Structure 1
Amino acid sequence: MPSSDNLRGILLMCASMAAFTINDTFMKSVTLTLPLYQTIALRGLIAVLGLIILALATGAFRFRASRRDAGLILLRSLADVAATITFLTALLHMPLANLSAILQALPLLITLGAALVYSDKIGWRRMTAILVGLIGVLIIIRPGTEGFDRWSLLGVASVAFVVVRDLSVRPLQGHLPSAIVALGAAVAVAAMVWIGTALQGWQPPTGWELARVLGAGLFLIVGYLTSVMAMRNGDIGLVAPFRYTSLLWAIALGFLVFGNLPDGWTILGATIVIAAGLFTLWRERQLRRRTA
């Protein structure tokens, strides 16, 4: 593959991670003054409208999902609802960089989940890397210390729900448009949080609050689109490690916007998790080359 495609994929992946982290920053900022469910609901409207426009533009509505695929989309959507609510609730009570550090374990846990659910073969080297990465997560959340609380556990739960969400799409038929899958999740999240809004109550938002919610929704859509484009433009083994730049964005934005910096233990744990993840990706690339 030409190096220009790899470079484009790397830049798109970095842009995707930046967009997702800016979205998180907007959401954390708004939920300090606006009820959580109301904020997610308003952002959900923007995401649903954006995905509907995308589906119409690409002709995605012409496709009909089988009963099996519809069930998998429902499972993915419910997992996405749980992941969204747990993540944003944890984000409301945790520094952005600390929660982002926990999320760095996601590639490792997806590899482990694929082995458990789909019987993917992982050797002792990658299994060791996964265990080392989990030790890194324990260092970040530090159970039994003053820095550990239920919000850290909620962040870990969010990662677990994302693993279920991502693994559930693997058996989907290849011709099913990604826009339909993403739209199903967006509609499910919007529906659930509007119910939550009815229970939690509605607070009239200010113009500045609405502007930040709009910014969150737009950056969320940009993040989704650029992440898909990144994986289609470059060698996955080369592009995927740049997902870890999200932690750098989280540290920078957490300091600039909220004045928070992660402590030494969090940085140590995140470094261990990222190193284990990079080793796993490198090992998978080596095995692919041998197979080829």
Structure 2
Amino acid sequence: MKGALIMALSMALFTLNDVFMKSLAGEVSLYQILTLRNGAVTLVLLALAARTGAFRRGLSRRDAGLAVIRGLAEVATAYFFLNALFNMPLANVTAVLQSAPLVVMVAAAIFLNEPVGWRRASAVAAGFVGVLLIVRPGPEGFNIFAIYTLIAVGCITVRDIVTRKLSREAPTFLVTAITSGLVCVAFGLYSVNVEWVALTPVSGGLILGAVVVIVGAYICSVQAMRVGEVSFVSPFRYTALLWALLLGFVVFGDFPAPLTLLGAAIVVGSGLYSFYRELQVTRRAAVPSTRP
């Protein structure tokens, strides 16, 4: 339960970060925001890596290469996700992102040969139907930013598959610092041709708030997995949707259409069922056979 509560807190902090970022839309360019935010986040993560002895352990050449690939996937994720976030309701974008674990499951079956039975495959299919209800590919509900959210899910899938291939010895904070550092450098280079604006107390405060909450979110997400069982804690990632619904309504006055809510419920239900099936399969594998 402690791990579950920490995971729920992590999702609240990630969603609060999205609120801060969305609040900056139209006032500060995306490139300036990410250069400043991730520059500060990287420094904090490097300090945490040093404090936890990550530099002494270091990274193997293989893990360093994977960390760079992970970072590049995060650069693409940040670009597509935040462009969608700036132009779509918070809850809609968050709801589509909840399909990422389902897509990761499919990718793991294809590229990592992880077994996926017909029940979980059916849950994935149902989840994709839910995504279609959210983005509504028709002349009224569909736009380019809905495509951006789907591309962001694909980038998250690449990031998570690469993360699974890292060795257990790879220090978490060091890998995360490399990821954040690449985001800072990439968008810093992009911002060379973009006019930077002077920060106001409000915009500066929002960026500082984003730094604080996203570092807290990273720490909580790591801690949640360390103090709780992964199979029990992971489903609490879906509390992000509840926070997005609440904060989207309170801060921006947005509330999803009924079809969006139905699609979100299908996506979350499919994800929860997939976690349940994975837990069942894992427990069965752990029970020794009684056959001679």
Residue 118 of structure 1 corresponds to which residue in structure 2?
112
The Cα of 1:180 is off from its aligned counterpart by 1.1
2:37 pairs with 1:43: yes
Out of 278, 281, 284, which is 1:290 matched to?
A: 284
2:99 pairs with 1:84: no
Matches within 5 A, 1:1-292: 7-292=1-286
Q: Structure 1: where are the runs of 5+ without partners? A: 1-6
CA contact (8 A) 1:31 1:39 kept: no
C-alpha distance after superposition, 1:41-76 (max 9, x if no partner) = 111122111101101111111123222222111110
Task: Give the RMSD, CA atoms, in angstroms.
Answer: 0.9
2:3 aligned partner, one-letter code: G
1:274 aligned partner, one-letter code: V
Length-normalised TM-score, structure 1: 0.96
Mapped partners of 2:27, 2:196: distance in 1: 12
Secondary structure of the structure 1 residue equivalent to 2:9 = helix
Q: Structure 2: where are the runs of 5+ without partners? A: 287-292
Mapped partners of 2:132, 2:41: distance in 1: 34
Mapped partners of 1:283, 1:270: distance in 2: 20
CA contact (8 A) 2:120 2:274 kept: yes
CA contact (8 A) 1:19 1:223 kept: yes
Mapped partners of 1:74, 1:34: distance in 2: 28
C-alpha distance after superposition, 1:253-287 (max 9, x if no partner) = 11111111111111000000111111100000011
C-alpha distance after superposition, 1:187-231 (max 9, x if no partner) = 100001111211222111111111110001110011111011111
Q: Matched residue pairs, number?
A: 286
CA contact (8 A) 1:140 1:266 kept: yes
Secondary structure of the structure 1 residue equivalent to 2:165 = coil
Q: Which consecutive aligned stretches of 4+ in structure 1 deviate over 4 angstroms post-superposition?
A: none
Mapped partners of 2:108, 2:41: distance in 1: 29
Mapped partners of 1:278, 1:145: distance in 2: 31
Mapped partners of 2:189, 2:83: distance in 1: 16
The Cα of 1:232 is off from its aligned counterpart by 1.3
CA contact (8 A) 1:43 1:213 kept: yes
Secondary structure of the structure 1 residue equivalent to 2:164 = coil
Mapped partners of 1:200, 1:117: distance in 2: 39
Mapped partners of 2:139, 2:24: distance in 1: 30
CA contact (8 A) 2:75 2:186 kept: yes
Secondary structure of the structure 1 residue equivalent to 2:44 = helix
CA contact (8 A) 2:91 2:245 kept: yes
